[in-house]
Amino acid sequence: MKLGIIGLPLSGKTTLFNALTRGAQPTGISSGKIEVHTAVVDVPDPRVDRLSAMFKPKKTIYAKVTYGDFAGLEGSAAKTGISGTLLNQLTQMDGFIMVVRCFEDENVPHPAETIDPVRDIASMDGELILNDLISVERKLERLAEERKKGGGRDKAVVERELALFQQFQQALAAEKPLRDLTLSPEDEKSLSSFGFLSRKPMLVVLNLHEGQPAPQVDYPHRQSQVVALQGKLEMEIAQLPPEEAAAFLSEYGIEEPSLNRMIRLSYNLLGLQSFFTVGPDECRAWTVRRGATAPEAAGEIHTDLQKGFIRAEVVHYDDLTALGGMNEAKLHGKLRLEGKDYIVQDGDVLNIRFNV
């Protein structure tokens, strides 16, 4: 999972990046340059810890999430769209975390001089939407030329794409993000090679001062959610030793670190879930989309397992840990064989039988 942290200059993007990654990138600085800092962190999951304690493997491997801290978005894309280098990295993200400044700080002036989260959200959304609109209009020009010349792809395919991209153009011209549109599975598949920015799930983070109440902000879009956190405080807590961090979380009434919270919300927005593999060599968490079949989950482990898939031995984490082991799960009928049509559930422990 790759998540891009975006926002206006001096909104606290790097502060949140440091809180999520336990990093130490300089904050409170806006150079105006296009920069991207990335870090890969483990996805906290107590289920992995419990399984590792049960099976005592040589290695314990958590699922990973990559965070990218993007500088260079100013809220007003040029007529040519976002620059190629930055756009290339943005399109590789699975979703975005938009940091919106809600705090006052005379030492860190807001680029627009005043604090207005609704205005700032609209500004950032506008940049993503404008970039998509430019891409859609270029695609429509190519499709019109293709239809005029003929002799290439099937005419019905070209007409279907024209209709789809005209729908996109109308939505974007009305300042509506593409994630709000309902598309058929066939259209979804045809768009897999397009990295439209406004189609990506969005987690809007209201960045507060310590003790500041969260303002009421509505963001009525699909695959989107608004959350509030105290960015600077979260960053300071993230950089403490675990014992001290736990005490600070308790003192300030923070239920869980921002890392845990952001990852859980991101999994939900992206429609992802975790399954596990266990054994004497390795205990590991894997990430797969909700609704994935057993062969698709096998493919996350290795493509050979998907190609040669025969059956999956399946037991749910809850049953496995409650009964105390694989043998006990088998005796109680909780370890079962599933075929190619089985839909993997969050928390499933899988052993793939395959033949290549």
Q: What is the DSSP string of 218-247?
A: ----TTEEEEEE-HHHHHHHHTS-HHHHHH
Nearest Cα to Cα of residue 36 among 78, 109, 93: 93
* pLDDT tens digits for range 184-229: 888 888 887 888 999 999 999 999 998 899 999 999 999 999 999 9
Pick the CATH number of 291-354 from 3.10.20.30, 3.40.50.720, 3.40.50.300, 3.30.230.10: 3.10.20.30
DSSP H or E stretch at residue 135: helix 117-149
Residue entry with tokens 């496995």: 320
pLDDT score, position 137: 94
Residue 33 banded pLDDT, cuts 50, 70, 90: low
pLDDT score, position 78: 47
CB 126 within 8 A of CB 75: yes
CB 204 within 8 A of CB 121: yes
pLDDT score, position 263: 86
* Sequence letter at residue 166: Q
Residue 32 banded pLDDT, cuts 50, 70, 90: low
CB 5 within 8 A of CB 68: yes
- Beta pairing class for 59-61 and 282-289: parallel
Residue 28 banded pLDDT, cuts 50, 70, 90: low
Structure tokens belonging to residue 172: 């974007």
Q: Measured between alpha carbons, how far is 11 from 8 in angstroms, rounded to an integer?
A: 6
CB 179 within 8 A of CB 221: yes
pLDDT score, position 80: 54
Greatest mean pLDDT range, 13-17, 238-242, 298-302: 298-302
Structure tokens belonging to residue 191: 């768009």
Q: Give one DSSP letter per residue of 31-45, joined into a string.
A: --S-EEEEEEEE---
pTM, two decimal places: 0.88
Burial 87-105 (b: 16+ CB within 10 A, else e): bebbbebbbbbbbbbbbee
pLDDT score, position 74: 66
pLDDT score, position 75: 57
CB 51 within 8 A of CB 156: no
For residue 185, CA distances in Å to 43, 188, 189, 191, 267 come to 30, 5, 6, 10, 21
* pLDDT tens digits for range 63-83: 999 999 997 676 555 455 677
Domain residues of the chain, as ranges?
Answer: 291-354
- 22 vs 292, more confident: 292
Q: Measured between alpha carbons, how far is 6 from 99 in angstroms, rounded to an integer?
A: 6
Greatest mean pLDDT range, 1-5, 107-111, 238-242: 1-5
Q: Give one DSSP letter per residue of 42-78, joined into a string.
A: E---HHHHHHHHHH--SEEE--EEEEEEEE---S---
Asked if the model's pLDDT at residue 261 lies above 70, the reply is yes
* pLDDT tens digits for range 139-153: 999 999 888 887 778
CB 128 within 8 A of CB 234: no
Residue 297 banded pLDDT, cuts 50, 70, 90: very high
Residue 154 banded pLDDT, cuts 50, 70, 90: confident
CB 59 within 8 A of CB 282: yes
Please tell me the number of Cα atoms within 13 Å of 301 on its side-chain side. Answer: 27
* pLDDT tens digits for range 99-128: 999 999 888 888 888 999 999 999 999 999
pLDDT score, position 255: 78
CB 162 within 8 A of CB 140: yes
Asked if the model's pLDDT at residue 157 lies above 80, the reply is yes
- Beta pairing class for 336-338 and 272-277: unpaired
Nearest Cα to Cα of residue 90 among 178, 180, 6: 6
Stretch 31-51: mean pLDDT, rounded? 86
CB 179 within 8 A of CB 150: no
Residue entry with tokens 């794409």: 161
Asked if the model's pLDDT at residue 313 lies above 90, the reply is yes
CB 258 within 8 A of CB 20: yes
